Amino acid sequence: MARSATKAKPTSEKKPIERVEHEGLLDVRNLTTYFKLGVGDVKAVQDVSFTLQRGESLGLAGESGCGKTTAALSLLKLLPENGRIVSGDILFDGRNLAKRTEYGMSKIRWKEISIIFQGAMNALNPVKETGKQVAEPIQLHEGLSEKQAMVRVRELYDLVGINPKRVMDFPHQLSGGMRQRAMIAMSLACNPKLVIGDEPTTALDVMVQAQILELIARLRKELDLSFILISHDLSVMAETCDKGVVMYAGEVVESGTTTDIFNHATHPYTRQLIKAFPNIHEKREMVSSIKGDPPNLISPPAGCAFCPRCDERIASCETEHPGLTEVERGHFVRCVHAKARTMDGFVPGDEAAPDQEGV
């Protein structure tokens, strides 16, 4: 007698990704990233948090080695093999990118978050036409043929100020500024919600830097882009960003609006960074430099990381690791002196501070 029992068919339906409620388009919470070396872990990014609203621009600034590029590459999970996200959340448009697989991230990169890499000559393939390189993410994410994608590439070249006839030029046939424009075109290829610029004006002369910054500002306005700028140049951050995050030794030492940071700089490191750039409106004098070297991030200091280089250090700075203090609404500083420098009349957490009444 034949058996009539039927087996249940396995379902192939995928469970929808559960959306996460969070502030803004991007909400980075307590991000910590390490690099593994033979002698120990390099604590490149420690407990970094910031938010970015739709259409807003944010600058990550600091000296080389402060962790700003590592923080940005962690958002896209583009870390080298020895790098890993130890803890924290990267909440982007309702999803936690810190928990996504490599396959899941491949659907995000270029399509929703793109990056303008530092040094276009190194980022572009030297033996492939630039236009075809810009077309690659379009073909991958939009499912278009190369011919169809090249139509979009010509439109992008025109948008960023390159003659569309030059789509078949190799990288060495373009000037430094034009290569950077090609990288910007690639970052816009799939209409992303967020663009990250990793030192987009590095190695360019002053005039071309100004043109690239003007181009980025125009595209942000026309396309309603959210933008993260990575730079060691605070003047560039002031020119292009709504908010700023100053990093030192892998940590956020000061954050707030660019107006707050430049007009009410509170952390000694931020103030010295500002002094390191010439001010055309003040007395002509040689700019100052920050003495000493950044700490070893394999074994960072127990207290304030900036203590050995700080002219305002006190005894407790060597042993006490300060947290972030809100010195005025939305303006946070990591310094033992911060509480004494809070703006007159402002109480952290008090929404009715006297200086904000009627706003």
Q: How much is the pLDDT for 104?
A: 93
Number of domains in the chain: 2
End-of-domain residue from the set 156, 191, 226: 191
Task: Give the domain range for residue 186.
Answer: 120-191
On the question of pLDDT at 350 being above 80, the answer is: no
Residue 177 domain-assigned (yes or no): yes
H-helix segments, 91-231 = 102-106, 120-123, 130-142, 146-160, 176-187, 206-223
Percent of the chain with pLDDT over 70: 87
Between these two residues, 342 and 178, which has the higher pLDDT value? 178
Compute CA distances 217 → 118, 221, 242, 274, whole Å.
Answer: 18, 6, 11, 22
* Span 254-260, average pLDDT: 94
Residue 33 counted as domain residue:
no
Tokens for 149? 């994608």
Q: Three-state SS for 73?
A: helix
**Residue 281, pLDDT above cutoff 70:** no
Contact in structure between 316 and 291 (CB atoms under 8 Å): no
Please report whether residue 231 resides in a domain: no
12 inside domain: no
Instruction: Say if 180 falls within a structural domain.
Output: yes
Distance from C-alpha of 213 to C-alpha of 191, rounded to nearest angstrom: 19
Calculate the average pLDDT of the chain.
Answer: 87
Question: Cα dist. 260→7, 224, 245, 273 in Å?
Answer: 66, 24, 11, 15
What is the pLDDT at residue 133?
A: 96
- With cut-offs at 50, 70 and 90, classify the pLDDT of residue 288: confident
Adjacency order of strands within the sheet including 243-248: 113-116, 194-198, 226-231, 57-61, 243-248, 251-257, 331-334, 324-328
pLDDT the model gives residue 26: 96
Q: What is the pLDDT of residue 5?
A: 47
The 3 state secondary structure assigned to 196-212 is: EEECCCCCCCHHHHHHH
Alpha-carbon distances, residue 182 vs 29, 40, 131, 153 (angstroms): 33, 39, 8, 10
Instruction: Assess whether pLDDT exceeds 60 at residue 4.
Output: no
Q: Is residue 22 part of a domain?
A: no
Q: Which pTM was predicted?
A: 0.86
Residue 342: CB atoms within 10 A of its CB come to 17
User: Which one of 166, 191, 216 terminates a domain?
Assistant: 191
10-13 contact pairs (CB < 8 A, 24+): none
Is 128 within a domain? yes
Residue 64 lies in a domain: no
Given 132, 167, 191, which residue is the final one in a domain?
Answer: 191
Q: Which of 194-198, 266-270, 287-291 has the least mean pLDDT? A: 287-291
Helices and strands: H and E segment counts in the chain = 10, 12
Percent above pLDDT 90 for the chain? 64
Can you tell me the distance from the alpha carbon of 54 to that of 253, in angstroms, rounded to the nearest whole number? 24
